[in-house]
Amino acid sequence: MTGEEVTYADLRFTTLEKSQDQELQTARAKDSLSPSSCWRLATVTLGVFCLSSVVAAGVLAAKFILVCRLVREKDENFTLQKAIMESLNQQLELLQAQNSNLTETVKQLASSRGHKCIPCPENWLQYGEDCYYFSKEWKTWKESKAQCSALESRFLKIESKEELGFIMRSAQSYSSYSFWIGLSHNGTEGPWLWEDGSAFSPDLFQIQRASSSPFLDCVWLQGANIGTARCGEYKFCICEKVVDPAAVERVSYLDRD
């Protein structure tokens, strides 16, 4: 074998070896980029992303629930505080009305014809020498009139601005109650008359009429408001009567002692 043949054989072997190495590297590269490998990588990446999304969603949900709870608690506290304030305001108004009524009563007692006291029945209010009863039973206008008669009194008849002021202040202490008084008329064209037959003077107060219906023929009083309603409706009523002269004389006799 000549030297040229040896050199050619070595060169061919070297070339064959390099070709095999390149084919091996190409095969390895193909194996590394095979579909199964790509799918596994994509699966892992997607799993990590999903897990991160779930964790983030959980955190956001927890924060949202916390915020909702805080907002609800604030709303409940605000509603409770508002209810308490309204209740306190109502109690304050009631106490102010009662205090005004008591002050007026004391003034009238102090100046009533030199007597220390003008007695009225229990649960009746005194103004001057008259006693007033604010009923606590709902009745029609006619039933209220009968109730006043049963109490040996009459339906309320307002005869002065001063008496009207006392009645309105006293009525305010009964919250939103409306009371029948002894004023009515027959039909829309008839005059307003008190129960004793005397005519009503518009100078005393104005009657707020809901409409021109002939059925609105009886008068009620609610605080500082005076209006009309059907006599068959149910309301409270106000009765009045003059103090028993015998009781006044008895108190006067005790004062002399």
Residue 254 confidence (pLDDT): 42
Read off the pLDDT band of 257 (50, 70, 90).
very low
**pLDDT tens digits, 177-199:** 899 999 998 766 678 999 989 99
DSSP per-residue string spanning 29-91 = HHHHT-HHHHHHHHHHHHHHHHHHHHHHHHHHHHHHHHHHHHHHHHHHHHHHHHHHHHHHHHH
Residue 8 confidence (pLDDT): 53
Region 123-144: mean pLDDT is 94
Between 231 and 9, the higher pLDDT residue: 231
Among 230, 236, 218, residue whose Cα is nearest residue 138 = 236
Long-range contacts, stretch 246-253, CB < 8 angstroms, 24+ apart = 247/118, 247/119, 248/115, 248/118, 248/119, 248/129, 251/115, 251/116, 251/117, 251/118, 251/119, 252/115
Residue 252 confidence (pLDDT): 45
Task: Express as a percent the part of the chain with pLDDT over 70.
Answer: 68
Query: Measuring CA to CA, how many Å separate 126 from each of 5, 15, 43, 106?
Result: 149, 134, 94, 10
The DSSP secondary-structure symbol of 233 reads: S
Query: Measuring CA to CA, how many Å separate 90 from each of 94, 99, 175?
Result: 6, 14, 9
How many whole angstroms separate alpha carbon 106 and alpha carbon 166?
12
Number of Cβ within a 10 Å radius of residue 145: 21
Over the chain, what is the mean pLDDT? 77
Region 86-107: mean pLDDT is 70
Please say if the pLDDT value at position 74 is more than 50.
yes
**pLDDT tens digits, 40-68:** 777 777 777 777 777 877 888 888 888 88
pTM tops 0.85: no
Query: b/e string for 151-168 if b means 16 or more Cβ within 10 A?
Result: bebbbbbbeeeebbebbb
**pLDDT tens digits, 232-247:** 999 999 999 998 766 5
Query: Measuring CA to CA, how many Å separate 43 from each of 24, 52, 54, 179, 207?
Result: 28, 14, 16, 83, 87
Residue 105 confidence (pLDDT): 63
